[in-house]
Amino acid sequence: MTITPHGSLKKAPPLTIPPRQAARLPESDAAAGGLFEAIQRGEAFETVVHEATRGEKPVLEVSNFNLWYGEAQALHDISLVCPDGKVTALIGPSGCGKSTLLRCVNRMNDLIDSVRVSGDMTLNGESIYTAGVDVIELRKRIGMVFQKPNPFPMSIYENVVYSLRIDGERDRSVLDEVCEQSLRGAGLWDEAKDRLQSSALAMSGGQQQRLCIARAIAAEPDVLLLDEPCSALDPIATGRIEELIDELKGTYSILIVTHNMQQASRASDYTAFMYLGRLVEFGPTDEIFLQPRLKETEDYVTGRFG
Ligand SMILES: Nc1ncnc2c1ncn2[C@@H]1O[C@H](COP(=O)(O)OP(=O)(O)OP(=O)(O)O)[C@@H](O)[C@H]1O
Ligand SMILES: [Mg+2]
């Protein structure tokens, strides 16, 4: 079979879709229904991982990761790599654990008392979950932007330089430089440069979201986590954020949650499909969208399910 070269999704020639691989389930389970039904029954299965994901240098590695909220298990044995300098999209129906997984990367789930985890994640080879990890330092290396823009109730300038202020930076020229570079990096400089001292809360939703991205990149993180960053934005603001993601990749490794299949196919290099807390299939985005190995993945990305 011919694998479409990476990045050529729009120009891809018509494909001869190979027969779908049967979900790797014991025969008795497979006979009793499809993969989704087997997962609903709690059967074990093996994630389908495409070969091309193995050649990349990972910035983030998730290994056999499980999470429980009290008695309820929300993540089941997730193993995943986020390649360095690339965009990885997390897709799947509502409630499948995308935000939960994202929050585990910077240990935000530590803030929820009922949460228990097992397994590990590593950032550039260093464990995120081992005893003694400095969580404040970890969160500086892993920036996060949420579905709803959350600028702090302060000026645009102070929002951007917030992480430097926390670190005690007082040199005005350093702060000015970081402010400008971060706003430029987030595609917001031209709109913000004449109103840096105005309240960030007076900006439009799309501007606020780009401001949150500027605030995240001002800390020079290794990884940027984006949880449905465009879901509250109009198509024009969404397009700007997508352009921005394209510009930021390479410099940053990005893990993005999205419900928008066009966005996942346009903006990401790799795609991970989750269902009910399991990672179902993981591979290069063009393979996941054009040649998924599992029928269930095809049904989801083509909108026949979910
Ligand atoms: N703080 C919490 N306490 C208890 N259960 C939670 C908590 N947060 C999430 N859950 C549960 O964990 C599961 C996964 O939720 P999560 O928010 O990660 O899903 P999601 O894939 O991000 O969904 P959506 O696409 O709707 O944002 C759901 O069953 C949810 O009810
Ligand atoms: Mg979510």
- Euclidean distance between CA atoms 147 and 145, whole angstroms: 7
- Euclidean distance between CA atoms 32 and 34, whole angstroms: 7
Burial class (CB in 10 A: 0-12, 13-18, 19+), 306: middle
Distance between terminal CA atoms of the chain? 29
Q: Does 237 contact ligand 1 (Cβ within 6 A)?
A: no
Give whole-number Cα distances, 301 to 18, 72, 281, in Å.
17, 27, 12
pLDDT per residue rounded down to tens, the chain (306 residues): 333 333 333 333 333 444 455 455 444 444 445 888 888 888 888 899 999 998 889 999 999 999 999 999 999 999 999 999 999 999 999 999 999 999 999 999 999 999 999 999 999 999 999 999 999 899 989 999 999 999 999 999 999 999 999 999 999 999 999 999 999 988 899 999 999 999 999 999 999 999 999 999 999 999 999 999 998 888 888 888 898 899 888 899 999 999 999 999 999 999 999 999 999 999 999 999 999 999 999 999 999 876
Distance 228 CA to ligand 2 centre (A): 7
Distance 179 CA to ligand 1 centre (A): 34
Distance 113 CA to ligand 2 centre (A): 19
Q: Are 104 and 67 in contact (CB under 8 A)?
A: yes
- Euclidean distance between CA atoms 255 and 140, whole angstroms: 16
Residue of minimum CA distance from atom 8 in ligand 1: 100
In degrees, rounded to 5, the angle at the alpha carbon of residue 244 between the alpha carbons of residues 241 and 250 is 140
- Ligand at shortest distance from the CA of 104: 1
Q: Are 225 and 255 in contact (CB under 8 A)?
A: yes
Residue 27 token pair: 């025969």
Residue of minimum CA distance from atom 12 in ligand 1: 74
Distance 73 CA to ligand 1 centre (A): 11
Which of 100, 231, 263 is the best mutation target for the ligand 1 pocket, counting ligand atoms within 8 Å of the beta carbon and taking the most?
Answer: 100
Domains of the chain by start residue, with CATH: 45-301 (3.40.50.300)
Q: Which atom of ligand 1 is nearest to the CA of 102?
A: 18
- Euclidean distance between CA atoms 182 and 244, whole angstroms: 12
* Strand, helix or coil for residue 172: helix
Q: Which atom of ligand 1 is nearest to the CA of 112?
A: 1
